[in-house]
Structure 1
Amino acid sequence: MERTLNFDHWARRELDAVEAALDAWVPADTPAGLGEAMRYGVLDGGKRLRPLLVLAACQALGGAREAALRSAVAVELIHAYSLVHDDMPCMDNDVLRRGKPTVHVKYGEAQAMLAGDAMQALAFEVLTPDAGVEPALQARLVRLLARAAGHAGMAGGQAIDLANTGRLLDEATLREMHRKKTGALLLASVQMGAACGAPDETTWRALSEYGEAIGLAFQVVDDILDCTQGSDKLGKTAGKDLDANKPTYVSVLGMEAARRHAQELRVAAHAALARAGLADAAALAAIADKVVERDN
């Protein structure tokens, strides 16, 4: 691909591939309608940022396409399962996601819990096919995704979030919470794509720094949008964190400082890409800009 990237064209092509794979691999034929709830929770919605990061990183390194596509689907399944569970009454108690009723509202709490469980399991099944992905690469991808989703990543970050509702946090503690809750899976997306291309240590370290900057920038912008956009624009309940008295970058830093921090993180992401020494990081660079410039 040439350095002058038409990002929208590239993203549309890649998103079509991811959507087709999700449609093929998320089953409809399951006991008691479970597949219907799974498909409702993951198909036809969302920005698909994590799959795009996987595919952009793999492309930048000339990596294995089959492994990258499976990684893109797997990371989106983990993300979708986390949203299904986070929206439930025992967690964030939300009724709107991606512009439609949340899974527990449509299918009931028990079915939503099972749908999330099944999507989590399916993610690792997708990563471990009988053929097409080398066993050593399968193991590395599974480890990266499991670590990002578990106690040291997304689940741990959500636990910190729930434990600190109504409390004042300093910026360092807030950063650590979001590094786990949101950032870990975005970082893993970059790393999984990179792993498909067997990078050297310098490139791996630089891409990891890029992923960390993107992960934090995404959450900072999310906090800003929660205060500045309506539910119809966001596709989820606006002002939810404020109403729940949860700490955010806006509540801790203030709106203008939060905006500046998002720009600082964009600069850091581009600097990390420059250090990676990749022949073509145009898609990764464009994603960094899109994350900070988005309005939903």
Structure 2
Amino acid sequence: MSYDMIAELSAASADLGETLDGILPRANGQIEQRLYQAMRYSTLGDGKRLRPFLVLSSAGLFKVSRRSALRVAAAVEMVHSYSLIHDDLPAMDDDDLRRGKPSCHKQFDEATAILAGDALLTQAFEVLADEDTHPDPRVCTDLVRALARAAGPYGMVGGQMIDLAGEGQSFDQAQVTHLHLLKTGRMFAFACEAGAILGKAPKSIRLALRSYAHDMGLAFQIKDDILDVEASSEELGKTAGKDVDQEKSTFVKLLGLDQARAQARMLCDQAINHLNCFDDEAEPLRAVARFVVERGR
């Protein structure tokens, strides 16, 4: 029987939603309840939740408990949601639509959106450091360190700075690749390595998962660039054509549509090859690589 990626994504998303619902603060009449509402608005609900799925899939390779994996997956989704809240602000990408509904700053206000992002980011590290995530303090420390590096100046935040600086500039392919390795790829890499950290896997195994995430993450970004050109705002759940409007250097701009598609497929194949050291239990990760280049057809 073939692997049903959509069904598995949906099931994982439902489990993650329950975990997030229990972790995120509830609005029960406190003065700060508007903050809690904004956090939940931006984190719960629809979304591919691909990064949490990668955490769960990598954890499955090492027989990690579902509870531990879901808590790490929740932390990853909280950091991802924080990044989207801040990316949508007028000072950043200035987008009014996210996941098919008003962006956080449009639904609430800019100050609340900033604070909601701050709160999600910091609470994510609280989740990772908690013994409920893993009883071994060393494992918790390794998770915190790895996520901090993936999300911070050497990862996602650094990539966002390059992205902002690149508006109206002409980046070459190496520069665009570096941008997306930081902005998108490092968080994908953490999601894939998280299961190995939880399972105390050797460095060689972590390297294989990191290499997989590198190629899969670039394939994901190339497909995003293609969809930004070809898909509608309704299909994307966010404003289409923003890259062109903001004069950003993209893989499509550099390579053209046909070559960009070919490059994404090649990276997908490379990503899958990095998983040769695993057996059939890595099929969810192989399916992710295929999914990221086939979505939106």
Taking structure 2 as the reference length, the TM-score comes to: 0.95
Q: 1-side partners of 2:19 and 2:67: how far apart? A: 11
Residue of structure 2 in register with 1:10 after alignment:
8
Unaligned runs of 5+ in 1: none
Q: List aligned pairs for 1:85-96, cutoff 5 A.
A: 85-96=86-97
Unaligned runs of 5+ in 2: none
2:178 is matched by which residue type in structure 1?
A: E
1:35 is matched by which residue type in structure 2?
A: Y
2:10 is matched by which residue type in structure 1?
A: R
Q: 1-side partners of 2:3 and 2:257: how far apart? A: 32
1:245 is matched by which residue type in structure 2?
A: E
Residue of structure 2 in register with 1:39 after alignment:
40
Q: List aligned pairs for 1:22-37, cutoff 5 A.
A: 22-29=20-27, 31-37=32-38
Whether the aligned pair in 2 keeps the contact of 1:263 and 1:292 (CA below 8 Å) is yes
Q: What secondary structure sits across from 2:235 in the alignment?
A: helix
Residue of structure 2 in register with 1:102 after alignment:
103
Residue of structure 2 in register with 1:257 after alignment:
259
Residue of structure 2 in register with 1:212 after alignment:
214
Q: 1-side partners of 2:194 and 2:215: how far apart? A: 16
Quote the RMSD (CA, aligned, Å): 1.5
Residue of structure 2 in register with 1:267 after alignment:
269
Whether the aligned pair in 1 keeps the contact of 2:99 and 2:238 (CA below 8 Å) is yes
Q: 1-side partners of 2:274 and 2:131: how far apart? A: 36
Residue of structure 2 in register with 1:75 after alignment:
76
Deviation of 1:132 after TM superposition, in Å, equals: 5.0
Write out per-residue CA displacement over residues 115-140 of structure 1, whole angstroms, 9 at most, x where no aligned residue: 00000011111112244512111111
Q: What secondary structure sits across from 1:281 in the alignment?
A: helix
Write out per-residue CA displacement over residues 88-128 of structure 1, whole angstroms, 9 at most, x where no aligned residue: 00000000000001000111100000000000011111112
Write out per-residue CA displacement over residues 220-272 of structure 1, whole angstroms, 9 at most, x where no aligned residue: 10000000000010000000110111111111111111111100110011100
Q: Which runs of 4+ in 1 moved over 6 A?
A: none
Deviation of 1:33 after TM superposition, in Å, equals: 1.3
Percent identity between the aligned chains?
Answer: 44
Whether the aligned pair in 1 keeps the contact of 2:131 and 2:137 (CA below 8 Å) is no
Deviation of 1:5 after TM superposition, in Å, equals: 3.7
Whether the aligned pair in 2 keeps the contact of 1:60 and 1:279 (CA below 8 Å) is no
Q: List aligned pairs for 1:1-296, cutoff 5 A.
A: 5-29=3-27, 31-131=32-132, 133=134, 134-274=136-276, 276-278=277-279, 280-295=281-296
Q: What secondary structure sits across from 1:273 in the alignment?
A: coil
1:155 is matched by which residue type in structure 2?
A: V
Write out per-residue CA displacement over residues 21-45 of structure 1, whole angstroms, 9 at most, x where no aligned residue: 1111111235141100011111102
Deviation of 1:198 after TM superposition, in Å, equals: 2.0
Structure-2 change in CA distance of 1:58 and 1:138 (3 Å) = same
1:175 is matched by which residue type in structure 2?
A: T
Q: 2-side partners of 1:104 and 1:294: how far apart? A: 28
Q: What secondary structure sits across from 1:280 in the alignment?
A: helix
Whether the aligned pair in 2 keeps the contact of 1:55 and 1:68 (CA below 8 Å) is yes
Q: What secondary structure sits across from 2:167 in the alignment?
A: coil
Q: 2-side partners of 1:57 and 1:131: how far apart? A: 19
Deviation of 1:164 after TM superposition, in Å, equals: 1.1
Aligned residues: 293
Structure-2 change in CA distance of 1:149 and 1:4 (3 Å) = same
Whether the aligned pair in 2 keeps the contact of 1:155 and 1:181 (CA below 8 Å) is yes
Question: Bigger shift: 28-37 or 258-267?
Answer: 28-37
Taking structure 1 as the reference length, the TM-score comes to: 0.95
Q: 2-side partners of 1:10 and 1:229: how far apart? A: 24
Deviation of 1:279 after TM superposition, in Å, equals: 5.0
Whether the aligned pair in 1 keeps the contact of 2:9 and 2:48 (CA below 8 Å) is no
Whether the aligned pair in 2 keeps the contact of 1:210 and 1:272 (CA below 8 Å) is yes
1:97 is matched by which residue type in structure 2?
A: R
